[in-house]
Amino acid sequence: EVATLWALHVDITSGQILQQLHVTEFQTWGEMTRIFTWSSARQTFYYLEANFTAPAPSAGRPITLSRVDANTGGCTASIVSGATNFPTGFDFIESLDRIFMATEAYDGSKMTGYLYYSVDPVSAKATLLSSSSNQGPFAYAGYFHTTSTGDGSTLYRLGYADPTTSTGPGIGFTEVSNPSATTRWNTDVPVPSGHDFYISGNPFG
């Protein structure tokens, strides 16, 4: 839960906080706050969360898209249309003006995999791109961290193949350009001597 949320303007050279704005009207919907994604053009943070403050409807938990204005601290929210249930990963791509999102997929009460969407940040309309199971290499594919900047067709997950046991360090590539997603796991990710495995990463180029 979040008692108070702040939007900070920070000098990246000195680390000095230049401005601190209290964010109003932000809701966590019963979940812990995760990393926001960012639009430089709109100076806006985006956040997606399912509603865990009430029993899950038969159609799935509604998802809220929150938009935090970095210059005012104001927050506006919209219910996402076309998608439901817990967003396991999301990332905004400026050049495409879309948020790429994965959610848990269910058959009744049993989680069976992930659904992958692109979301319009203005209308909050989700478009289904692809789907996968949650077995084998797909077990944690929905927990991606970032997206290919060219066309949004590849989702990247840097971490462990099995996060529950911290085994199989590497990077996963999930292709969502076709209705059935494909995932491959690359363990050839060198780590500097004396350091644990990476916990985050961003694509460049």
Q: Tell me the per-residue pLDDT of 18-56, one tens digit each, with 9 for 90 and over.
A: 999 999 889 999 999 999 999 999 999 999 999 999 999
Q: Please give the torsion angle defined by the CA atoms of residues 140, 146, 150 and 151, in that order, rounded to the nearest 10 degrees.
A: 40
Q: Based on the number of CB atoms within 10 Å of its own CB, is 157 exposed (0-12), middle (13-18) or buried (19 or more)?
A: buried
Looking at residue 205, what is its pLDDT? 60
Alpha-carbon distance 106 to 114, whole Å? 8
Looking at residue 2, what is its pLDDT? 60
Strand partners, 65: 48, 78
CB–CB of 183/172 below 8 Å?
yes
How many residues are present in the chain?
205
Q: Tell me which residues of the chain have a pLDDT lower than 50.
A: none
Cβ of 32: how many Cβ atoms within 10 Å? Answer: 8
Looking at residue 3, what is its pLDDT? 65
DSSP 137: G
Give the N- to C-terminal CA distance of the chain in Å, as an integer: 36
Looking at residue 24, what is its pLDDT? 87
Alpha-carbon distance 108 to 101, whole Å? 22
Q: Give the distance from CA 104 to its chain's centroid.
A: 12
Alpha-carbon distance 125 to 116, whole Å? 13
Looking at residue 77, what is its pLDDT? 97
